[in-house]
Amino acid sequence: AHNSIQIPAGIPQHPFFSAQVPEYANYARIGLIIGHEITHGFDDMGSRFDFQGNLKDWWEKESKEKFIKKKKCIIDQYSNFKDNQTQLHLNGVNTQGENVADIGGFKIGYRAYQRMTHRLPKPEPGLPNLEQYSNDQLFMLIMANMWCGVHRSDILKMRIITGVHSPDEFRINGVLKNFPEFANAFQCGPTDPMNPK
């Protein structure tokens, strides 16, 4: 057994990756996807396997306790989200693995982009008609756009009740509420709902 991430041939192509777009757009898309899959190695299921893919409790006690505490916060946070279209609360237990992977994937993609920007000879250009946004803000907007969608109420209800992924709105806002860099980039005030506490 071994651990691996498999990337289908269609992923490193437009719209997820293109040599013709600024790097923040690529990192916001494919960086998020790769980071998401890496983070599954540490979610409620992946954390049960060692580096060789064997079922094993390999965590140090302190690390495991911290992980369980953070995971409980994420479960509680997502369980408190209420969808306005269906009037249902999300099931943070059912979606915990994907929520952890979404949050971790976004952080990995963003941090990789930040490291890469130090190697650039000059700042990357903005996007047409979006000049008012910084590159960090554009990274976050592009990430959010990946999960943007509209669903019929019956489909949304089924997804909330049985799905392992949170609905799109909460995949976006849940991640960004757990990302202080979002609050900084968009200058959210201390009482703003999007400012993590």
159, 127 contact by CB (below 8 A) = no
Q: Catalytic positions, please?
A: 37, 102
Q: Tell me the pLDDT tens digit for each residue of 89-113.
A: 999 999 999 999 999 999 999 999 9
User: What is the pTM (predicted TM-score) of this model?
Assistant: 0.90
Listed in sequence order, the residues at least 6 apart from 109 whose beta carbon sits closer than 8 Å to its beta carbon are: 27, 28, 31, 32, 34, 35, 143
Direct distance between the N- and C-terminal alpha carbons of the chain, in angstroms, rounded to an integer:
40
Instruction: For residue 166, give Cα distances in angstroms to 97, 136, 152.
Output: 10, 24, 15
Q: Tell me the pLDDT tens digit for each residue of 30-89.
A: 999 999 999 998 888 888 888 888 899 888 999 999 999 999 999 999 999 999 999 999
Q: How far apart are CA 156 and CA 133, in angstroms?
A: 32
pLDDT at 2: 66
Q: Stretch 121-143: mean pLDDT, rounded?
A: 93
User: Which structural domains are found in the chain, ordered by start?
Assistant: 23-185 (3.40.390.10)
